[in-house]
Structure 1
């Protein structure tokens, strides 16, 4: 980076990057499960899947919130030479780094349909919803504090893309208008030119 600047990725974008692949893989696996009677039968599979969906969404969305809060509280201001990574680049890097895990999770969910139909797919979908809820929580926090949270890219690479992992020592903060992602990691909507 120029003059000692650091590459920074948005925390909420990293959290949200896995939400869509997990959701769609889960929905597809659950759809296949509806067609397979399985060992337990569809009715039990759907009920178990609904319970797993709710539990997964709750656990994933609340997991490590204290760590996120502590890192956010100690966030230093980003320097003028720091490079803010685009949202699309952050999402692409996370998904490339986790593509084999996502494929394995999808295959396990598909295979689970022969034992408990639909349940594995709904578990995956619930994890995706949990990530989306966690990103929304981060977005509300960013809006309340009027500062976006960023994490060093090299720290993400060190521990598999976890924005609150052990390798992450602190966050950086910028103004709410920085970067191309809105609070919560969604694509920033630009006002239409009149």
Structure 2
């Protein structure tokens, strides 16, 4: 483990943020695509899109599953000198680095409605749903082990389980501003 001061981002947030963006872009693209009479017709487009939704969700959920588990099991305790990145900062940095890719995927999903209405939008939404389910699975692991998983953002450019990630670091369950699974931590009002 590298000692010194550096920044850590939550693994679950880096999975949850792309899931949310792909889901909403896919839902909007599919919704618009349904109103466009494509070459294949609405019925075939929607049925094909539903099949692609299921396949994309399964692939996104199962991709690198063993790698996530291996990195989580081997996570080392984070030193006190690290800075824990807020979930909003992590989300903003992820979107800023990939905004053109997201815009291109959305435009392609809209344009594909000419051929098969709603199909590509449902594909995007399925990938988003699979990533959201993966974040939920990570949250269950974190609750079961009473640990939060972190990764250095500069290592996770291609994803939090990419080959460039040498390992995760772990903190206690109350560190940072995101709960298990990367969702916003619920604030409990103080009595009195």
Report the TM-score, using the length of structure 1 for normalisation: 0.95
The 5-angstrom pairing of residues 22-41 of structure 1 reads: 22-41=22-41
| CA distances 1:133-166 after superposition (whole Å, capped 9, x unpaired) | 000000000111111000012212xxx3411111
Q: Distance in 2 between matches of 1:21 and 1:78?
A: 29
Partner of 1:164: 161
Shift of 1:77: 0.2
Structure 1 residue runs of 4 or more that deviate by more than 3 Å after TM superposition: none
Matched pairs, number = 189
Report the TM-score, using the length of structure 2 for normalisation: 0.96
Q: Distance in 1 between matches of 2:181 and 2:7?
A: 19
CA contact (8 A) 1:94 1:161 kept: no
The 5-angstrom pairing of residues 30-69 of structure 1 reads: 30-69=30-69
Partner of 2:171: 174
CA contact (8 A) 1:38 1:115 kept: yes
Shift of 1:37: 1.2
Q: CA RMSD of the aligned region, Å? A: 1.1
Which runs of no fewer than 5 residues in structure 1 stay unpaired? Answer: none
